[in-house]
Amino acid sequence: MSITARLILSLSLLITVFWLSAAMIARSVFVEEVDEMLEDTLQGAGSRLLHAATHDRRPDAGAGASLEQDRDRDHDDDHDSEESDDRFDDWDMLSDGRSDYLAFEVRDGQDRLIMRSAGAGELLSERRERSGFYVTDDALLYSIADPASRYSVTVATARSHRDSAIAEATWALFLPMVALLALMAGTTFFLVRLFMAPVKDLSTELSKRGGTYLAPLDSAALPSELRPIAQSANLLMQRLQKAMDAERVFAANSAHELRTPIAGALAQVQQLRAEIGDGKGHVRAAEIEGALKRLANLGTRLLQLARADANLGQRQERQNLTPVLQAVVSEFTGRAVSPLAVILHDNLRQDLMVQMDADAFAIVVRNLIENAERHGASGSPIEIEVGADWTISVKNHGPVVSDEDLPTLKQRFQRGHSDAEGSGLGLAIADKLVTQSGGVLTLMSPARGYDDGFEALVKLP
């Protein structure tokens, strides 16, 4: 998992946990406040009702009379006054159901029911012997008594009202949180991606650097935390570039300096063979000539490798490489000694305009033909096909290369399981030059259309 994904996930989870914890704390505080408010309401209502029962009750209300009977007597009394109506407004509101949350009952010293509000029977089914707060499964109750008159009042409210209020507040607290968390996750994702962009840019630039491209990184535009990394990478690439340049120059100089003495020695050996003929030592002279030819071929390959390491294949503009292809093919078919049978099929039927250096293209084609000649079946022709899809295919008959060996053939000094002579550099150099130009070299065995053989397919840039 990437650092960006880890940051986004970690921050989102951390903020979610903190937010949920804060919401749970807020809910607990809200529940405490609701309980405290209900206790204050019950206590206040109980005190007011007890005062009304002991000081404002009607002298003609007998023991055991209900508030409904008291109200009926009020309507029949011709001496009702506005003051009497005002004193009994609290009783009327509670008893006729106009209060949706509170219920009460009033009892005298002999525990006889004096008054009871509508619906109070369900909440006040059990008697309470002392004053204070009570909690049942269905209600919250508060009882208060007057020692002088020995009247007692019990006020209750259904727990469903409390639970409903808490549930509504909880939903109101948590439901917006879902949308806010989604918004927060999106914002976190955007900000993390924004602030991690320099890290991603640095990673992209570093991934572009390789054995042939070691340009220094631009550290000026990077944040201060990443600047030392870029500067250290630049120093490392500078040292690596110097080492590679020194190695390349050494290989090129060595190969170049060896060409002249090797060519001279080869000429001397060939002259010696001509003088000896079939006499004594001709076998040894032939072996020396073969060794010198292999050494000369290795020197040529090292020079090609040095040029490939110098990015020979890169070119900005396109050029016509059809004459180059024809010239390389003519080199092999027009040899004075052992001319090679090469069949060229041009299906493109137009100029081969390719964004590739001409020398690099010639080296690629020459190495592929030499590889086909060296490892192909003796006497069988080599077919070169220029495809309409801008590809060049070089294929030959011969032994089938296993799937395990195919990927290794483009590595340096890898020759597979062939007994033929070779340096193991031809395909590696061809692949490097093709890759530098933006193309792709694909190796296949058996060749397409053959039951055996080997094919090298170059996808031109």
Distances in whole angstroms, Cα of residue 133 to Cα of each of 39, 144, 211: 8, 9, 85
- Determine the 3-state secondary structure of 154 from DSSP: strand
CB neighbours of residue 338 within 10 Å: 7
- Are 90 and 102 in contact by the 8 Å Cβ rule? The answer is no
- Name the strand (E) or helix (H) holding 156: strand 152-158
| pLDDT level of residue 66 (50, 70, 90 thresholds) | very low
pLDDT at 406 over 60: yes
As a whole number of angstroms, the distance between CA 90 and CA 57 comes to 12
As a whole number of angstroms, the distance between CA 91 and CA 32 comes to 30
Residues sharing a CB contact under 8 Å with residue 123, sequence separation 6 or more, in sequence order: 103, 138, 139, 141, 156, 157, 158
Residue with tokens 């049978």, as numbered in its chain: 341
| pLDDT level of residue 74 (50, 70, 90 thresholds) | very low
- Determine the 3-state secondary structure of 321 from DSSP: coil
Domains of the chain as residue ranges with CATH: 3-166 (no CATH), 207-310 (1.10.287), 319-459 (3.30.565.10)
Q: What is the pLDDT of residues 27-65, one digit of tens each?
A: 888 888 888 888 888 888 888 888 887 775 543 444 334
Q: What is the pLDDT of residues 129-158, one digit of tens each?
A: 677 888 887 788 888 888 888 888 888 888
Distances in whole angstroms, Cα of residue 276 to Cα of each of 263, 267, 293: 20, 14, 19
Structure tokens of 17? 């946990």
- Determine the 3-state secondary structure of 249 from DSSP: helix
- Name the strand (E) or helix (H) holding 354: strand 353-354
- Beta-bridge partners for 343: 383
As a whole number of angstroms, the distance between CA 166 and CA 27 comes to 8
As a whole number of angstroms, the distance between CA 294 and CA 291 comes to 5
Least confident of 55-64, 124-133, 291-300: 55-64
| pLDDT level of residue 167 (50, 70, 90 thresholds) | confident
Q: What is the pLDDT of residues 373-404, one digit of tens each?
A: 888 888 889 999 998 888 999 999 988 888 88
- The residue count of the chain comes to 461
pLDDT of residue 237: 87
Torsion angle of the four alpha carbons 415, 417, 418, 423, in this order, in degrees rounded to the nearest 10? 20
User: Quick one: angle between helices 227-276 and 197-208, nearest 10?
Assistant: 10
- Are 314 and 308 in contact by the 8 Å Cβ rule? The answer is no
Q: What is the pLDDT of residues 412-447, one digit of tens each?
A: 777 666 666 667 788 888 888 888 888 899 999 999
pLDDT at 370 over 50: yes
Cα angle vertex 305, ends 406, 217, to 5°? Answer: 95
Q: What is the pLDDT of residues 182-194, one digit of tens each?
A: 888 888 888 888 8
3-state secondary structure string across 47-92: HHHHHHHHHCCCCCCCCCCCHHHHHHHHHHCCCCCHHHHHHCHHHH
